[in-house]
Amino acid sequence: MRMQRKKRIAAFLLAPLLLCACTAAPGTQSAAASSEAPPATEAPEPVQTPAADPVEALLQQMTLREKVGQLFMIRPDSLEPELTREQVNDERAEGVTELSDAMRATLQEYPVGGICHFGKNVEDPEQMTRFNADLQQASELPLLIAVDEEGGTVARLANDPDFALPQYESAAAVGATGDPEQAREMGRTIGNYLKEYGFNMDFAPDADVLTNPDNPVIGSRAFSQDAETVAQMATAMAQGLQEQDILPVFKHFPGHGDTAEDSHSGIAYTRRTLEELQACEFLPFRLLDNGFSPDELPAVMAGHIAAPALGDDDTPASLSYHLVTEILRGEVLDGAPALVVTDSMAMGAITELYSPGEAAVRALQAGCDLVLMPDSLPEAFDAVLAAVEDGTISAERLDESVARILRVKQQYAGLELPQEGER
């Protein structure tokens, strides 16, 4: 079955897009029927059938299980069936650092769309490069392979002495220079070494505006307390990452800089009104206004941040249709088709209130595309599969997210699709 599937995908990827032309030949009459030749007619211009969207064509070939799999980005530890849920989600526990046969089998059973590495999955440059290459080889479709590499305190690779990589004091220190080129160069530098080790996605830049100096989780991870400065610096860093073919992820919408709580342990709250958010926290996330084209958009992370003043009470943004679809997609992104990923679904803000399956379904209903690190992959996967089968999540809604993921993979992960107009 696996070989047949690979052949099927390969055949699609190599197939040209054919353009159909039709010409109408003038009719003829026999001399017995008429002594006069029919009036001359001009042949009509060839009619070209518009080329099919290659992403849509691939979608039509995918099974439901393959589509559902694309919606999940997991820790590599989730592929190891011998590990407990607690071991998988404990960043201090021993992590997997190479791909086993059992993990390969899990990846076939749950064909996820991406992998996110943590410090426990990192040993040295050779191991990291080999691990990522083996993961890509084992997957039917190219994987998004990500890491948190912001620069400063959150840098899984640069802060590991076995890598001997350039280090940055903090985003705040870069922001304090007032020079966006410094942030752009930081993005280029980080993107360059991430690409070398087989990554194609970075959960950076931090686009939070530090409006609460007592914030327990953001601090110097933010470029500034000034929204315009954050917008300039985050944009420049993201563009630097893109120059190295790394997909940036702006985080944490609707803004983690005003919160007084740590979403790792529970829901964080922003008490800002919509007008206040529009004037401050939203500015770095206005990707089109900040110079990104609709065809070269970074991704956006929806945080586990509730905004009671916006009418959602205690619902975190990651699970809120109002915040993700109506405000983020409809207003802040102005309809631009950016990929939206949740923050980790193994964080306390989610696990204390929702089952893995409920959280995953609600995130997709909210308008998120990629469910990051569910507390239990099998439970979340099966719940989403069932939700599509019973219509809780429509087939159209599923295809919408999968299409966005495939287009991003075409740009950053080497998914080869025939281009419109190719013969």
Burial of 289 (0-12, 13-18, 19+ CB in 10 A): middle
CA separation for the pair 370, 372 (Å, rounded): 6
pLDDT of residue 44: 53
Could you confirm whether 252 is annotated as catalytic? no
CA separation for the pair 283, 253 (Å, rounded): 11
pLDDT of residue 91: 87
Res 13 pLDDT > 90: no
Sheet holding 247-253, edge to edge: 340-342, 299-302, 247-253, 201-202, 144-147, 114-117, 72-74, 371-372
Task: Say if pTM beats, i.e. exceeds, 0.85.
Answer: yes
Q: What's domain 70-412's superfamily in CATH?
A: Glycoside hydrolase, family 3, N-terminal domain (3.20.20.300)
- Mean pLDDT, to the nearest integer, of 204-208? 98
The percent of residues in the chain predicted with pLDDT above 70, rounded, is 87
CA separation for the pair 317, 109 (Å, rounded): 30
Whether residue 71 contacts residue 401, with contact meaning beta carbons closer than 8 Å, is answered with yes
Tell me whether strands 268-269 and 154-155 are parallel, antiparallel or unpaired. unpaired
What is the dihedral angle through the alpha carbons of 122, 123, 126, 127, rounded to the nearest 10 degrees?
A: -70
DSSP state of 157: T
Reported in sequence order, the residue ranges of 239-370 that DSSP labels E, i.e. its strands, are: 247-253, 268-269, 299-302, 305-306, 340-342
The percent of residues in the chain predicted with pLDDT above 90, rounded, is 81
Res 47 pLDDT > 80: no
As given in the structure block, the two tokens for residue 296 are 């070269």
Res 387 pLDDT > 50: yes
Q: Which of 90, 226, 262, 264 is the catalytic position?
A: 264
pLDDT in tens, 295-343: 999 999 999 999 999 987 899 999 999 999 999 999 999 999 999 999 9
pLDDT band of residue 273 (cuts 50, 70, 90) is very high
The domain ranges of the chain are 70-412
Q: Phi and psi at residue 144, in whole multiples of 5°? A: -80, 120
Alpha helices in 64-200 (DSSP H): 64-70, 85-89, 101-109, 125-138, 171-176, 180-196
Angle between helices 54-61 and 395-412 (to 10 degrees): 120
Decide: helix, strand or coil at residue 72.
strand
pLDDT in tens, 20-40: 333 333 333 333 333 344 444
Q: For the chain, what is the radius of gyration of the CA atoms?
A: 25
Res 167 pLDDT > 60: yes
pLDDT of residue 85: 92
- Of 110, 14, 21, 107, the residue nearest 360 (C-alpha): 110
For residue 96, the Cα-to-chain-centroid distance in whole angstroms is 23
On average, the pLDDT of the chain sits at 89
Could you confirm whether 343 is annotated as catalytic? yes
Res 199 pLDDT > 80: yes
Res 41 pLDDT > 70: no
Residue tagged 């070398």 (tokens)? 196
Res 5 pLDDT > 80: no
Residue tagged 């529009």 (tokens)? 278
pLDDT of residue 419: 59
pLDDT of residue 216: 87
Burial of 91 (0-12, 13-18, 19+ CB in 10 A): exposed
pLDDT of residue 265: 77
Res 195 pLDDT > 70: yes
pLDDT of residue 418: 59
Decide: helix, strand or coil at residue 251.
strand
Q: Which of 148, 206, 258, 343 is the catalytic position?
A: 343
